[in-house]
Amino acid sequence: MIDDVLKVFRKLDSKDLRILTGIEIGMKNYEWVPLEEIQKYTKLSFDQLEYRLFKLFRSNMVVGTKTPYEGYQIYFDGYDALALNTFVKRGSVSAIGDEIGVGKESVVHEAIREPELAIAEPVPVIIKFHREGRTSFKNVKRVRDHLVDREHFSWIYAARLAAKREYDILNTLYGKVSIPKPLDYNRHAIVMAPAKGSLLLKTKLLEPVWVLDEILSQIKVVHSLGIIHSDLSEYNIFVSDEGVEFIDWPQYVTLAHPHADELLERDVFNVLTHFRRKYNLEKDLGEVLRFIKDE
């Protein structure tokens, strides 16, 4: 829980953060980073290092093993702390609030950043912490094309790569497609503007025909840019009086993907199914796909 992370985060000093960073770096080469490697990076005495590691272990910042040697891994709470520390230093985030969304592969929190002008109000933002690999490395590898050829990877690698992948595509699409504005990225976390309106799943639409047309038009724009969301449904579309916004992009594919047509069809099918079930709106799947692909 981020509340637990924040309580510990306020008590961490530069030496604690250096230990966490040393373990993070060591996990590129070790499943369990040996105590000796952490000591080389931090340059702390073994007594100091073991004392601080014990406190980090008690605070769920790290996990450890004694067999076949004494070694450590950074835990999600510790990784959250490192990302938050970077965001605070950059001025991307000044305070973090309630959890507003949680899934198998991410946790989203409200936050604020200080305004550029001192007389202005704080700016609302959100932080999305990726959690890929938390439950099953094998399953994440199976459904993520960018991990298929990787023989070995840690959850740190999976989560960090997913966050960078999503941040990069948000930057590519922003200004051309209706998506929240990306603001900053570090490790496994992204800071972005909040999506406008409310989640389609939880919204009773007054003009469902207009909203459905807006969604299909946006899918067409995305497709014209050579991209397919590939995980689109009522769970990651926001609706407002201004239109719609798509969120959750780490699974996107390009039109060169061998299953691009199937993934596009699945996205459109999900959307049409939602509107048929909830609003009794019928559209022919084939006709919609031809509309989207027609340049």
pLDDT for res 116: 79
Cβ count within 10 A of residue 27: 19
Buried/exposed code over 211-224 (b: 16+ C-beta within 10 A; e: otherwise): bbebbbebbeebbe
**Among candidate residues 156, 199, 172, 162, the one with its CA nearest the CA of residue 254:** 172
Give dist(CA 219, CA 292) in Å, integer: 7
Residue 41 is predicted with a pLDDT of 97
Residue where the block lists tokens 């639409």:
205
Average of per-residue pLDDT values in the chain: 91
List of residues 6+ apart from 109 with CB closer than 8 A: 2, 96, 97, 98, 99, 100, 126, 127, 129
pLDDT interval class at 145 (50, 70, 90):
low
Q: Supply the pLDDT for residue 259.
A: 97
> Model confidence at 135, in pLDDT bands (50, 70, 90)?
low
Angle at 144 between CA 139 and CA 147, to 5 degrees: 95
Among 10-24, 74-88, 125-139, the range scoring the smallest mean pLDDT is 125-139
In the chain, which residue ranges form alpha helices assigned H by DSSP? 2-9, 14-26, 35-42, 46-58, 76-90, 137-143, 155-173, 208-224, 260-279, 285-293
Residue 119 reports pLDDT greater than 90: no
Tokens 């490192």 belong to which residue? 82
pLDDT more than 90, % of the chain: 80
**Residue 134 pLDDT exceeds 80:** no
State the pLDDT at residue 141. Answer: 46
User: What percent of the chain lies above the pLDDT cut of 70?
Assistant: 93
Give dist(CA 134, CA 146) in Å, integer.
Answer: 17
* C-alpha dihedral (74, 76, 77, 83), degrees to nearest 10: 90
Active site residue 98: no
Spot the catalytic one: 77, 231, 248, 267.
Answer: 231
- The per-residue pLDDT for 1 is 60
